[in-house]
Amino acid sequence: RKEVEQDPGPFNVPEGATVAFNCTYSNSASQSFFWYRQDCRKEPKLLMSVYSSGNEDGRFTAQLNRASQYISLLIRDSKLSDSATYLCVVNDDDYKLSFGAGTTVTVRA
Amino acid sequence: EPEVTQTPSHQVTQMGQEVILRCVPISNHLYFYWYRQILGQKVEFLVSFYNNEISEKSEIFDDQFSVERPDGSNFTLKIRSTKLEDSAMYFCASRDGRNSYNEQFFGPGTRLTVL
């Protein structure tokens, strides 16, 4: 069964801290990988795509390990506004996204 | 910035009634999707639509569900006879599809409550 598994959290961190969490996916043929962010009762919004070489977008760094079928997200210098649920998302083919259940991050003042 | 819109934002219905959820995808996008999220659970794929036909559907998308693109702008999800377990957030998404960039843009969702 194709699945995307995530650290559920919650991760409760102080402002300025670094937080990192992981995701594994079961389908070795998966083509594209993303981190989406979801705020309470809102739609998922793309945070960043994840590339094989790893990529960084400001305070966010994503890593992909295809051999281990493992994706990670690291947030540096956490802000209060980073509090959200982070969804690991895998694109198996052109037609659908498979979502993990999400990792909840709470940044406290 | 173009965005996906959905109406209504909240729909309350009685069990057994038909509902139609409406979406306006981003103009010029070619691929359209419906997802649902039951409260406290993960987002689940329902159906994808391309070139005026269903491309793929999940096991959730049974005969009670149908999709339609009645004109050049709207994309609808119909549930013929709602069940209590259909209560969820329903998200529409669209994707350009004409380049290698695969981002799907999500609408704000319709919260469906079946009583």
Q: What is the mean pLDDT of each run of 10 residues along chain A (109 residues)?
A: 84 96 92 93 93 91 94 97 96 84 96
Residue to substitute from B37, B45, B102, B111, interface A, most A β-carbons within 10 A: B102
Cα–Cα distance, A71 to A89 (Å, whole number): 10
Closest CA to B77 of B26, B23, B17: B23
**Contact of B34 with B77, CB cutoff 8 Å:** yes
Flag whether residue B11 sits within 8 Å of chain A, measured between CB atoms.
no
Determine the pLDDT at residue B73: 87
Return the residue matching tokens 């993303």.
A34
Q: Looking at the complex, does the CB of residue B85 fall below 8 Å from at least one CB of chain A? A: no
Q: Are strands A55-57 and A60-65 parallel, antiparallel or unpaired?
A: antiparallel
CB A20 within 8 A of CB A73: yes
Q: Note whether A99 contacts B109, CB cutoff 8 Å.
A: no
Q: What is the model's pLDDT at position A7?
A: 87
pLDDT of residue A6: 94
Q: B55-74, pLDDT tens digit by residue?
A: 999 999 999 999 999 887 89
